[in-house]
Structure 1
Amino acid sequence: MLIKAERYYAWREEHHEGIQDSAGRSTLTFKQDHSLETRHIRTLLWNLAYQQLKEKDWQRLARLWGFTEDQIRAIEEQWSGNKSFCEQGYRALLIWLHGALMTQPDPTKLLYEDLVCAGFLESAEKIRQFKGKTDPRSKKCAVS
């Protein structure tokens, strides 16, 4: 929660957003998100962290998203063990999602673009395919 808050307040200061500016938005919380609205993307992020990203990959994404070295170290210190990078990556992805949901209408599209930018082309393609299978708006209509 501390990293979410730190990143939020840094973003707000950078964009000169006052507390009154955010009153019209949905209620801001730093608690873990279990909402039905984000279940789809949280599942997508879990698959990315546990099945696609390798050790140290999440750190490349975190740096791309403006995480500080202190924030990256804090995430690393929360978990240890052979596969701890999976949980560390998932944590970083959820923190990213918290910020992305405040500023982006489609965080999945932003995630795809950032994966491409960071050089994770295979993971980006899997994200695109996953979204295409599960997003009813992405179905194409063909005239025969």
Structure 2
Amino acid sequence: MQIFFQEESQNWIQVTSSLSQKLASSGVERDIKSGLPNIEIQRLKEIGLLSLVIPQKYGGSGATWVEALKIVQELSQADGSIGQLYGNHLNLTALAHVLGTPQQKERYDRETAKKNLFWANAINKRDKKLKITPDGSITLLMV
């Protein structure tokens, strides 16, 4: 288990706080329009939050879950929808850790860090149209 140094923790909180101020100004309008948060997700990518909990040995930042949940809290104070999306992303990054093999854990951690993948809302288990099918070495989500 990696412990986050206090200086590093404060740095992530400061970076997120700066983003939160920008998010707060657009959240209500976006919710009224039921708009997609594409710009906001891009900002999460740009500041490096998508690989926050991915271990450093796989290319991530190696933050603890305590630190990551402080980031969710900070985002949620500014824009509850973005905080929820980011929390969903964190949960799905842990899916391979909980249900997968060590090889799957490493693969998805590396891919998430390398490609800056955003996993939030990638799976909706209540959607009857969702089908997960293998296609060679790739698994496709089809809706």
TM-score (norm 1): 0.29
More helix, by proportion: 1
More strand, by proportion: 2
TM-score (norm 2): 0.29
